Structure 1
């Protein structure tokens, strides 16, 4: 039985969708407590208090998850959109590193809350890259 060339990419995008929507909902719903657990004192990023930043990121992450679900559901996967998802995931990992370098008093929970999702997203990016390469090789 032949495995479709886009199977890895579709499965990865579906997982990314579920992970992103759930993570985004948690970020929106628990922005205040997450901010309190993440830092010892008040943190401001781009002039916004940390709870607001977490809530806004949560909305964006949930929307990103919806985009991943849409891409995975198309009869023919739109590869340009899949490449955009890959680029966004790489950007998330890079952004996580930058956030860790900000002059903030991150708690252990805060560091874990930044590093663990970044590692998951990095894994997703690798799988998306391999899925896109598999499609290119098959064509």
Structure 2
């Protein structure tokens, strides 16, 4: 299985990101009130639900991009840009809105940002590998 993932890192990462985004998005939509109350007063149920709906769309985009044997470069670049925007947005929220967040909210945003950053690095590595293999 690892050999298969290594052969097509981009496909595996795009698929995994899509599946995780769908599950996380569904969880945020269904449990928006509970998540908002844990995150602190700055996180309303509406904001949490909006993030969940975004993640559902993000997941569908990733799964659709992972369907071909080799994900299109423009789709991977868009995914990388979206990941970078997520990480930067998370940093801004942690700097500007931390007073309205609970410790659990701060931790959740920070952990998610680190995870997204790691996934972004895997996408970049996969794109570089594919370019090197075709050069």
Do the two structures share a fold, i.e. TM-score over 0.5? yes
1:32 is matched with 33
Name the count of aligned residue pairs: 131
Task: Say if 2:100 is the partner of 1:99.
Answer: no
Q: Distance in 2 between matches of 1:21 and 1:70?
A: 12
Q: Which has the higher contact order (CA 8 A, sep 6+)?
A: 1
List 4+ stretches of structure 1 deviating above 4 A: 2-6
The worse-fitting range, judged by mean Cα deviation, of 5-14 and 19-28 is 5-14
TM-score in terms of structure 2 length: 0.89
The gaps in structure 1 that reach 5 residues or longer are 44-48
Q: Distance in 2 between matches of 1:109 and 1:132?
A: 34
Task: Please state whether the residue corresponding to 2:101 is helix, strand or coil.
Answer: coil
Task: Please state whether the residue corresponding to 1:60 is helix, strand or coil.
Answer: helix
Query: Among residues 66, 79, 84, which one is paired with 2:60 in the alignment?
Result: 66
TM-score in terms of structure 1 length: 0.86
Query: Among residues 50, 72, 77, which one is paired with 1:78 in the alignment?
Result: 72
2:22 is matched with 21
Q: Distance in 2 between matches of 1:98 and 1:133?
A: 29
The gaps in structure 2 that reach 5 residues or longer are none
Q: Distance in 1 between matches of 2:70 and 2:8?
A: 11
